[in-house]
Amino acid sequence: MIKVYLVEDQGLVRDAIAALLSLDFNIEVIGQASNGQDALTAINMLDSNSFPDIILTDIEMPSMNGIELSEQIASKYPAIKIVIMTTFSRAGYIRRSLSAGVKGFILKEAPSDELISALKKVMHGQKVIDPELAINALDDIDPLTDKERKALQLASEGLKTTDIAARLYLSEGTVRNYLSDAIAKLNAINRVDAARIAKQKGWL
C-alpha cells in the first residue's frame, strides 16, 4: 500500500484527485492540505510510522509553494518522496524541483493512469519526468543566484529596498546590488519587469 499525502490549494481539484487515487487498491490518501505550510505542520505532528510514502503536491500555492515544501521535506524527512503535479510546464520549475529532491514531475492534464503509474514508479525508486520537459530544463539555465532570487521575490511582493534588507538581514546597498544584477541578467527594464520574466521562466 502506497500512503499518499495530497497538497493542492483548489478544493475541487484536490477532492477529485483524492477520489481518483482512492480507486486504486494499492494507494491510500492519508491526508490533505491546501498549502505547503499546512502540510508541513501536519506531517511534523505525525510519528514516523504514520509518515506518508509520497507527498503529491502542486507548485503554486499560498503560504508555502510546492518547491519550498519539497526543500523542507528533503531536509527533515529524506525518506518521504515528493511528486510535483502542476498545470505549468516551465523549465525553471523542473530544475528547481529536481534540485529540491523531487522524484516526479507530472502535468495535471496527464491521463489518470499516468499519474497512478508515476506514483508507483517513484515508490519503486524511479524518477518520473516527461522527457521533453527534462530536455527543456537542461537547455533553460537559471542565471539567478539564490540571494538574487530571494531579493527579487520580495520585490515582486511590493516590498521596498529597506524592507527587503531587513527581511534578508542585509544592507540596503547589498540588496540594490542583487536587484541590479538580477535586472541585468534578465535584460529587464526594472525590478518589476525582472520579476515578471523570472516568474514566466519558473525561476521565481
Which residues are registered as beta bridge partners of 27? Answer: 2
Over residues 169-193, the mean pLDDT reads: 91
Over residues 62-73, the mean pLDDT reads: 91
- As to burial, measured by CB atoms within 10 angstroms (0-12 exposed, 13-18 middle, 19+ buried), residue 155 is buried
What is the model's pLDDT at position 108?
Answer: 83
Which residues are registered as beta bridge partners of 105? Answer: 84, 129
Helices 11-22 and 112-123 sit at what angle, rounded to 10 degrees?
70
Residue 168 banded pLDDT, cuts 50, 70, 90: very high
**5-59: per-residue pLDDT in tens?**
999 999 999 999 999 999 999 999 999 999 999 999 999 999 988 999 999 999 9
| CATH architecture of the domain with residue range 2-139 | 3-Layer(aba) Sandwich (3.40)
**71-102: per-residue pLDDT in tens?**
999 999 999 999 998 876 666 777 778 888 89
Q: Which fold has domain 146-201?
A: Arc Repressor Mutant, subunit A (1.10.10)
Closest CA to 175 of 19, 105, 167: 167
What is the model's pLDDT at position 36?
Answer: 95
Distance CA 115, CA 109 (A): 10
Distance CA 119, CA 117 (A): 5
For 14-72, the DSSP string reads HHHHHHHHHTSTTEEEEEEESSHHHHHHHHHTS-GGG--SEEEE-SS-SSS-HHHHHHH
Going 105 to 76 to 14 to 8, the CA torsion angle's sign is negative
- As to burial, measured by CB atoms within 10 angstroms (0-12 exposed, 13-18 middle, 19+ buried), residue 170 is middle
Q: What does pTM read for this prediction? A: 0.69
Q: Where are the domains of the chain?
A: 2-139, 146-201
